[in-house]
Amino acid sequence: MTPASLPTSWRSVLPHLDEPLPPDRSPEATAGGSDTGVSVNLPFTLVRQSTQNREFWDIPAEVLDAYRSFRPTPLWRARRFEEAVGARVPIYVKYEGGNISGSHKLNTAIAQAYYYAKAGVRELVTGTGAGQWGTALAAACAMFGLRCRVFMVGTSLQRKPYRGTLMRTLGATVHASPSDLTDVAARTGGGVNSLALAIGEAVEYAGRTEGAAFCIGSGETYSILHQSVIGLEAIEQLAGLEAEVDSVVGCVGAGSNFGGLALPFFAEAAATGTACPRLVAAESSTTPKLSRGVYAYDKTDATGVSPMEAMYTIGSTYPIPDSHSAGLRFHGAAKVISAMRHRDQVTARAVGQVEALEAGQVFTRSEMVLPAPESGHALAVAAQLASDGGSSRGVVACVSGHGYLDLSAYQQLADGELSNEPPAEQALDAAMDRLQPVPGLAIAGSGHGA
């Protein structure tokens, strides 16, 4: 493992994009009405971090102090994993699972809790899929003296009850979604289990509760900025090893750990005039927004009142098949990741849960680290690139979290009970047909696959 210094600034990719990100729109404006911009309940610093073409943002001292308990995180060459998968080039892994939340999510949770506390908010409310984000926010709220309320996708909470226990231990109130607390859940009839619904419940609850604010951990531009510590450390660590990579891989739900690792490589290449490595997003085959989706305006949650964002999406109305990769079961990708995808600055590969967990199993046996199912998608793609000629110099992948609360998935794999649930083609087409294209841009689809 190679040491690194803790970054004292986050690095934004926005100054290095060819065009500004398409503005958000109100639901009524998707056919050409007025823009809404960033949600007004955000602390002003988060608004500026999402919109200004400023490359470096100083990390507040209080956030740095919190980071020091678990950062820098380790990066190493996974030699035994290379041998196990028949790699022809080196595979390096950046491990983000060694903190209380067990994932990269704590990087932005700490930052957001700090800014919301400074703004006078007393309670943060959120939705979570696999539970890493809910756990991270619960921990961050405990650090800064805030109350925390989490709506967790019900099927995930059933599979991972100890995620709920950990969040409650950290002081959070946890509800299985759909719950009986919100109108948006009541309108579904109780039969929907999705991250969009859990987020929708959190949006509704926060909107009617004094002193509360909705908080999200993955898709927003500011959350990806906070995750840039991953890539900044990785660049320094690879330089310390005198290692070169031409592929950077992370799994994608909305895009925070992928963006956190990959976008600093893009910014560094743009700033220095050097070639950028290939940036490869590994997604779930149940939710193939970047490999099969369309670039369009879509809802980020199930309420229908939040701003519409320009994203690669398979449609917020699409009934996503169930899988153990709950953190990847979000219908759309972050707007900055989507804009780069549309310009072919990012590529994507979809992976089934069986292949992802098999890669995770191999990694566990070879590297003695148990990855989360979501991270198994990144490892599967890294193994493909390193062994099939997709990379000529080396691959670095983000192992975004540990899998100790996902052992039921590995047990099902061992028992031969897992299968890959393919998307329902007719429903997928119907969900995407309802969407409004991003104005002035051709819609790119599966022709952009990696």
Q: What is the pLDDT of residues 98-120, one digit of tens each?
A: 999 999 999 999 999 999 999 99
Domain count, the chain: 2
Amino acid at 166: L
- Describe the chain by its helix, strand, coil percentages, rounded to 5: 40, 15, 40
254 and 181 in a common domain: no
Residue 320's pLDDT is what? 86
Q: Burial, 55: exposed, middle or buried (Cβ in 10 Å; 0-12, 13-18, 19+)?
A: middle
162 and 307 in a common domain: no
Residue 425 lies in a domain: yes
324 and 415 in a common domain: yes
311 and 248 in a common domain: yes
Give this prediction's pTM.
Answer: 0.93
Query: Is residue 252 within 8 Å of residue 368, measured between CB atoms?
Result: no
Among 217, 241, 272, residue at a domain's last position: 217
Distances (CA, A) of 226 to 217, 218, 270, 403, 442: 10, 10, 20, 23, 31
CA distance 295 to 337: 11
Residue 43 lies in a domain: no
CA distance 255 to 252: 5
Residue 59 lies in a domain: no
Among 217, 244, 266, residue at a domain's last position: 217
Residue 1's pLDDT is what? 60
Half-sphere exposure of 212 (CA within 13 A, CB side): 17
Q: Tokens 């809802």, residue?
A: 299
340 and 249 in a common domain: yes
Residue 32's pLDDT is what? 43
432 and 308 in a common domain: yes
Residue 439's pLDDT is what? 81
162 and 311 in a common domain: no
Tokens of 319: 């009934």
Residue 34's pLDDT is what? 42
Q: Residue 177: which residues within 8 A CB-CB, separation 6 or more?
A: 127, 151, 152, 153, 154, 185, 193, 197, 198, 201
Cis amide bond preceding 178, omega within 30: yes
CA distance 90 to 394: 5
129 and 84 in a common domain: no
Residue 380's pLDDT is what? 98
Residue 424's pLDDT is what? 86
Bridge pairing between strands 56-58 and 309-313: unpaired
128 and 95 in a common domain: no
427 and 323 in a common domain: yes
Residue 79 lies in a domain: yes
CA distance 4 to 127: 33
Residue 447's pLDDT is what? 35
CA distance 7 to 72: 8
Residue 289's pLDDT is what? 96
308 and 422 in a common domain: yes
Residue 91 lies in a domain: yes
Residue 77 lies in a domain: yes
Among 187, 217, 247, residue at a domain's last position: 217
CATH number of the domain encompassing residue 120: 3.40.50.1100
354 and 272 in a common domain: yes
| C-alpha Rg value of the chain to the nearest Å | 20
Residue 445 lies in a domain: no
90 phi/psi in degrees, rounded to 5: -65, 145
Whole domain around residue 124: which residue ranges? 106-217
Bridge pairing between strands 91-95 and 75-77: antiparallel
Which of the residues in the chain have pLDDT under 70? 1-3, 28-40, 190-191, 302, 440-450
Residue 210 lies in a domain: yes
Could you please report the per-residue DSSP string of 420-446? -----HHHHHHHHHTPEEPTTSPPP-G
Residue 300's pLDDT is what? 85
